[in-house]
A and B are shown apart, each in its own frame.
Chain A
Amino acid sequence: MAENMEFEDKAKKVFSAERKEDIWVLIMAAITVILGLAGVITPKTFTSLFFQ
């Protein structure tokens, strides 16, 4: 019974963590899209991150 409770707790934690994770993931993607559409990030932004 105790083991079962432990799993229920773990399952709840995993899924509430995944929910939070998904919300952060959506925010990160939305910020990237907004910056891209606004022209703040351009194709040159990526290449400028590396040594040529």
Chain B
Amino acid sequence: MSDNNDGIAKYFPGFILCIILGWISLQWDFSIHKWQKEYQACEKILTKYTQDRKPFLPFAEYTAKSDEKYKEKLAAFERGEIKEKPKKPHLLKENDYNALAATKEIPFKYVFGEKMIEFQLTYVAVLLLGGMLIRNTVGLPKIFQPGAVLARPVIKPGIILLGGYYLWSNLLKVGFFALLLVLVFILGTTVLVAVIGRRMKQDDGLMGVMAAGTGICGVSAAVAVAPVVNAKPRDFFYAVGTILLFGTVALFTFPYIGKSLGMSEPVFGAWVGTAILNTAQLVAAATWYGHESLLTANILNIVRVGFIPLAVIFCIWFYVIKQATSSEKQQKINTWQVIKEKFPLFILGFFAMVTLNELGVFSEEHRTIFGKQFLQIFFAIGFAGVGLNIAFDDLKKAGGRAFIIGFIAATLKAVLSAIVVMLIGTEAFRVK
């Protein structure tokens, strides 16, 4: 009994730390978004003043005029003259308005908020960079480590709740392209790494875990395939090191590469969904880029993790069945058993949410609560766990020729999939 209690108790400190870090980062995010809104309102007023040479109105007149404009737009929307329902304008507070009128300068904190969002330093970046910094400078005391590991899967309830944003029709539309990308790139990489490894006379154990890891789902797939291909512990750590190193580099660079290539949010979502190997890392990169990007990346991820059993079956066939002598050929793959054991259950929750949304159970308010607000809470706790678990010592474990094969295959997949998703275009990947 006491063992059991110790077992649970050891997770508390790290988990609570992740909740605290998550809250701090969300407070940061909340503040910079608020300041950005104020910045935009200030800028609008200043533009009128400087470019249109209109005088500053008294505060009461400013609010009345904005309100009048909003009502006009709303009426036009109700008459069907404009398609999108207008949003209520964000108005400055009286003190801020009067200060702006007097100084003609936007207050520093509003400029700061705008800059932070321009550099994409939202809660995602704060948690990942901050967590990584803590882990690799002051270090994460042992007492926090089990809980920090436990916090990572808290991302998954967020993924399920996001299901409330989809209808089956848009899921199937994007899912069709997702299926093609998964088949071509993800299973393609698994096969490519296995075949190149064999040609370069690399050890089957090492290349088996590397093929499963770089192709489909990172560390979980590597662990699943390791016993099948008789991997040695050293092989396993080489493969896991390579997977983690690639994922970490991708996580921090892809959002900036996407911006510089001018990728739209849906296209970026499709790209990271194909190119990043690990659920937590791809969800983090997509969230970093924007909500539409997350909606698309999530579909890719659901399709991808649904293929885990298939990757395991391929590795069993490639490394065991294909090589077995005729006398050994009696051993067959129990396909149903593999699917039953390896199928990720949480996907069913996601599909249940899509079905409830299709049946009209959720209002717009519910979608905001589940798919934006609570999603952020779950993601923030999970991302804190992800950041605190990026240890450079683990990344150093990557090595050898297999590392080169794995890293090149993953990079090739990233480059080719970027070209393909950009050619397919935004509309194919747009969820709404």
Contact = CB atoms under 8 A, between A and B. Distances in A.
Q: Kindly name the residue among B23, B160, B161, B231 whose own CB sees the greatest number of chain A CB atoms within 10 A.
A: B160
Interface string B3-44: 000000000000000000001001100110010000000000
A40 B34 CA distance: 26
B368 A43 contact: yes
A4 B346 contact: no
A22 B160 CA distance: 11
A4 B227 contact: yes
Contacts of B30: 47, 50
Given A18-B220, A43-B373, A11 B227 contact: yes
B370 to A, nearest CB: 6
B157 interface: yes
B232 interface: yes
Interface in B195-231: 220, 223-224, 226-227, 230-231
Nearest to B153: A21
B188 interface: no
A41 B34 CA distance: 22
Contacts of B348: 26
Given A22-B344, A26-B349, A42-B369, A8 B153 contact: no
Contacts of A49: 23, 26
A48 to B, nearest CB: 11
Contacts of A26: 160, 345-346, 348-349
Report, as a range, how many residues of chain A touch the other chain: 20 to 34
B368 A25 contact: no
A33 B30 CA distance: 23
Given A15-B341, A26-B349, A46-B377, A4 B230 contact: yes
A52 B161 CA distance: 26
B374 interface: yes
A19 B345 contact: yes
A30 B368 CA distance: 16
Given A4-B230, A21-B153, A32-B374, A37 B361 contact: yes
A22 B345 contact: yes
B153 A25 contact: yes
A3 B370 CA distance: 45
Nearest to A33: B370
B227 A41 contact: no
B236 interface: yes
Nearest to B232: A3
B27 A15 contact: no
A43 B370 CA distance: 9
Given A26-B348, A50-B27, A41 B369 contact: yes
B118 interface: no
A5 to B, nearest CB: 8
Given A7-B226, A11-B224, A25-B349, A32 B370 contact: yes
Interface string B332-372: 00000000011011101100010010000100011011100
A49 to B, nearest CB: 7
A23 B83 CA distance: 42
Contacts of A32: 157, 161, 370, 374
A51 B346 CA distance: 33
A25 B349 CA distance: 9
Contacts of B345: 19, 22-23, 26
Contacts of A43: 365, 368-369, 373
A25 B346 contact: yes
30 contacts: A3-B232, A3-B233, A6-B233, A7-B223, A10-B226, A14-B223, A14-B224, A15-B342, A21-B156, A22-B345, A22-B346, A24-B153, A25-B153, A25-B154, A25-B157, A25-B346, A26-B160, A26-B345, A26-B348, A29-B157, A29-B161, A33-B161, A36-B370, A36-B374, A37-B361, A42-B369, A43-B368, A46-B373, A50-B27, A51-B31
Given A7-B231, A28-B154, A49-B26, 5 more contacts: A3-B233, A4-B227, A26-B349, A36-B374, A50-B27
Which 3 pairs show the lowest CB-CB distances between chains A and B?
A46-B373, A22-B345, A29-B160
